[in-house]
């Protein structure tokens, strides 16, 4: 298992959280995604380390932006 935490900007409500979770969960090997709305922290757990580029692309697909990791 590998866990990485990213900071995502622009999420303002539970719908935003849901969109990010949905997109990031689609990445191959991802087993869990948790999002804390107040801080923008998105924690991604996978069976192996997930590509940061894949996470960044998924977050952008949802309409938000990774600002740090």
Residues at the contact surface with a second copy, assessed by CB under 8 A = 12-13, 15-16, 18-19
The candidate with the shortest Cα–Cα distance to 29, out of 49, 43, 56, is 49
Which C-beta is closer to a second copy: that of 49 or that of 63? 63
Which C-beta is closer to a second copy: that of 24 or that of 50? 24
CB of 55 to a second copy, least distance (A): 21
Which C-beta is closer to a second copy: that of 10 or that of 49? 10
Assign 3-state DSSP to the chain and report helix, strand, coil percentages, each to 5: 35, 35, 30
CB of 11 to a second copy, least distance (A): 8
24 burial via Cβ count (<10 Å: 0-12, 13-18, 19+): buried
């Amino acid at each position: 298992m590998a866990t990485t935490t990213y900071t995502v900007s622009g999420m303002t409500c539970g719908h935003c959280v849901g969109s990010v979770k949905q997109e990031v969960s689609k990445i191959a090997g991802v087993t869990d995604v948790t999002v804390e709305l107040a801080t923008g922290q998105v924690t991604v757990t996978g069976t192996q380390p997930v590509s940061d580029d894949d996470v960044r692309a998924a977050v952008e697909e949802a309409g938000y932006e990774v600002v740090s990791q």
